[in-house]
Copies of this chain bind each other. A is one copy, B any other.
Amino acid sequence: MSTSHDGSPGVPAEGAAAAGSAPTPDAPARQGISRRGLLGLAGATVAGIGIGIGADRAVSAASGSASSPATRSYAFYGAHQAGIVTPAQDRLHFAAFDMAGDATRADLIELLQDWTVAAAAMTAGQDIGEFGAVGGNYDAPPSDTGEAQGLPASGLTITFGFGPSLFRGAADADRFGLAGKQPPALHPLPHFPGDMLDPAASDGDLCIQACADDPQVAVHAIRNLTRIAFGRASLRWSQLGFGRTSSTSTTQATPRNLFGFKDGTANVKAEETATVDKQIWVNSSDGPAWMSGGSYLVARRIRMTIETWDRTILREQEAVIGRTKGEGAPLSGGSEFTEPDFEATGRADQPLIAETAHVRLSHPTSNGGAAMLRRGYNFVDGNDELGRLNAGLFFLSYQRSPEQFITVQSQLAKNDALNEYIRHVGSALFAVPPGASQGGYIGEPLFA
C-alpha cells in the first residue's frame, strides 16, 4: 500500500473512501477519485492505493480559449456541458458503456463522481494522477496510461450522456432507482425506413463524447475513463472520427464530408444564442427539472457507399444534395450562405431544388421549424472483403428534444434522394445533463 504522490499543482489528492462506504446522494462532492476508480486504474491486484490528480501535462495549457489550437482548453465545469456549442474540434473518440450487471445506485454515483474529477483534470491538460519516475510509486501501475504526457489540452472536451436503459433496464428493471426520473422524451428512437442497425453498435447506458484537436488526446481520455469504470461499467461500442463534418461556430469554415460536399452550412451556430436557447438547451419548463440546461444527443453511424457515389455524375450528385459541389451554394442560386429558395423553378417549371433533395427535406421549413446542432465526424474503418472502404459519417446532433431529430429523420428516411447512397447502421439516444459545478459531479441533480 502506498499513499505517495507528487506535489504537483493539480487537484489535491484525497485519501480513498473506505471500502463499502458508498457515497450517498447528498455526500459532499469529492475532489479525488474513489477507491473503486483507483482500483480500475491500478488493476484488481493492487489494494488500497490513494493517488490524486497529478501533474500538468503541458505547462502552456491555459484556461479558456487561447490562440493556439494545441494549447486551447475549455473549462469542464459550467451551466452547460462543454463539447456541445464548443467550436467543433477536428477529432473524436466516442464511447458507449453499459453498467455492470451487479452495479448499484451507489456505484453509478461514484462512477460519475470519478469521471467528473478525471474529466476536469484531462480537459485542463492534466494527467489522471502522476506517472513516471519522479515521485512515482514503482509498485503500482501508473494512474495515467501516459500516452498524452507532454501533449497540451488540445481543446479537449468530454461530454457525458445517459441512455434510456440507464433508467429502465431489461424487463423494465429499475436498477438504479431512476425510473421515476426518466424524461418522457428519452425512449429508444423509432425504427426508420431503411434502418439496418447493428445492436452491438447501438444504444448504451452511458456515453462519453471526447473531442480534441489531437486524436491521441481524445483516445487517451476515453481509455482512461474506461479504466476508471473498471468493475462498474464497460465499453459497449466506440467510434473514432477524423474530420468534423459541421461547423458549430461562425468562426469556422464549413468542412466537407466524404461525399465531397460542404456539410453543416445551415447548422445551428454557437453565436446564434436565441436559436441555441430555443433549439438546443432543455429549459426549466420542459422537465424533468434535472435536465434543465441539458440537451438530447442522437448518434447515428451512417455508412456511405462511396464507391457508388463516386460513379454518380456531378449533376446527379448536386441534385441529390440540392447544393453545388464546389461552392456549396443552393441550386436556387447565390453563394454558400444564401438561403435556399425552395419555390424557385427552372426549365419545365421544375423546382431548382428537387422535392427529394437533402437540403430541402432537412431544412427547418420542411420540419415545422425543427433544427439541431450537428457535430458529426467522418470515419474510415478499414475496408470490407470486396475492397470497399468502410467509411461514412458518424452523425451526432444535439437538440432540446429528440422529437426534433425524429421529425427530420422521418422525412429523410422516407424521401431523401441520398438514401440510395447511405445506410444507417448504428443508433443511440442519450440525455445529456447540464454541466457540473465545481465541487459537484456530472448528473448530480438526477440523484437529488
Contacts and interface: CB of A to CB of B under 8 A. Distances in A.
Contacts of A138: 313-315, 318
A325 B131 contact: yes
A216 B242 contact: yes
B314 A136 contact: yes
Given A44-B311, A242-B219, A132 B325 contact: yes
Contacts of A219: 242, 258, 378, 380, 391
Given A325-B133, A326-B149, A389-B223, A141 B260 contact: no
B383 A381 contact: no
B382 A146 contact: no
A76 interface: no
A343 to B, nearest CB: 22
A330 B122 CA distance: 28
B140 A313 contact: yes
Contact of A216 (B132, B150, B243): B243
A291 to B, nearest CB: 28
B315 A260 contact: no
Given A132-B327, A234-B387, A243 B260 contact: no
A402 interface: no
Nearest to A379: B240
Interface string A91-116: 10101000000000000000000000
Nearest to A200: B385
A330 to B, nearest CB: 12
A81 interface: no
A311 B43 contact: yes
Contact of A260 (B147, B312, B380): B147
Nearest to A386: B234
A142 interface: yes
A310 B225 CA distance: 13
A134 interface: yes
Among A136, A223, A311, A382, the one with the most B-chain Cβ atoms within 10 Å of its Cβ is A311
A216 to B, nearest CB: 4
Contact of A380 (B149, B240, B255, B311): B240
A258 B214 CA distance: 14
B314 A260 contact: no
Interface in A144-195: 144-150
Interface in A124-139: 131-134, 136-139
Nearest to A261: B146
B215 A145 contact: no
A5 interface: no
Interface size class of A (residues with CB under 8 A): 35 or more
A425 interface: no
Interface string A377-406: 010111101111101000000000000000
B380 A227 contact: no
A324 B133 contact: yes
A2 B164 CA distance: 55
A256 interface: yes
A265 interface: no
Interface in A6-24: none
Contacts of A313: 46, 138-141
Looking at A91, A95, A150, A314, the one whose CB has the most chain B CB atoms below 10 A away is: A314
A266 B128 CA distance: 28
A53 interface: no
A119 interface: no
Contacts of A242: 91, 215-216, 219, 240, 242
B387 A310 contact: no
A253 B146 CA distance: 16
Counting from the closest, the 10 A-B pairs by CB-CB distance are A146-B260, A132-B326, A43-B311, A235-B387, A234-B387, A215-B242, A138-B315, A216-B243, A133-B324, A147-B256
21 contacts: A41-B310, A42-B311, A43-B312, A93-B380, A132-B314, A132-B326, A136-B314, A139-B315, A140-B314, A141-B314, A141-B317, A146-B261, A214-B243, A215-B242, A216-B243, A219-B242, A219-B391, A223-B306, A226-B387, A235-B383, A240-B242
